[in-house]
Every structure is written in structure tokens, then in C-alpha cells.
Amino acid sequence: MELLATKGQLAASEIYENFDVSAPAVSQHLKVLREADLVQMEKRAQQHLYNLNPGAMSEIEVWIQKMTKSWNDRFNMLDKVLEREKKKGKGESEKV
């Protein structure tokens, strides 16, 4: 996916050249990406040309932003809990 994102549309043969695995193995990965609708394939004569699916990339970006916000909210809550525990621990040690 990174290869397609940086270089744009590529023929399957151009994609295969970038990996140290067999062409059939890369082809299987491309099939999974197609079935997940992450890449699009266009047949032109004997070539299979691949592109990233921009709609799917947008959906992934929205999901990542949502997950990032969720995790940041959780970490902020944890920070507050830890800060309260830290203050509570200080108060008890001052009593001793």
C-alpha cells in the first residue's frame, strides 16, 4: 500500500519487483487488498494496474482519528486517576 501511495498506479509486475517473495505470494496479498476494497485493479490488455482506493483511505483516516481520540481520552482519564492517587499518597506520608 505504501508503494502505491508513493508511486501511484503500478502494474502488478512493477509491484512484484519490489519484494523478495514470489509473484504468486504478492498476487495473493493484492487479492486480499482488493477484496478488502483497499486497492482497485484495472485490466489493460495483459496488465493488471493497481491503485489505492481513495474512498477506503478516507474511511481508514476517519477511523484512525476516532481511535486516536478515544485512546487520548482514556490516557487523560488515567492521568487524572494517577494524579489523584499521587496526591492521596503525599497526604498520607505527611501525616506520619
Q: 33-72: per-residue pLDDT in tens? A: 999 999 999 999 999 999 999 899 888 999 999 999 999 9
Joined grid coordinates for residue 96: 506520619
Domain 2-52, CATH among 1.20.1440.230, 3.40.50.300, 1.10.10.10, 3.40.50.2000: 1.10.10.10
Per domain, the residue ranges of the chain are 2-52, 54-96
How far is residue 74's CA from residue 92's CA, in Å, rounded to a whole number?
27
How far is residue 90's CA from residue 77's CA, in Å, rounded to a whole number?
20
How far is residue 13's CA from residue 27's CA, in Å, rounded to a whole number?
10
| Mean per-residue pLDDT over the chain, rounded | 92
- Evaluate whether 6 touches 14 at the Cβ level (below 8 Å): no
- Residue 87: band (very low, low, confident or very high) from pLDDT cuts 50, 70, 90: confident
CA angle 4, 13, 58 (to 5 degrees): 20
pLDDT for 34 equals 95
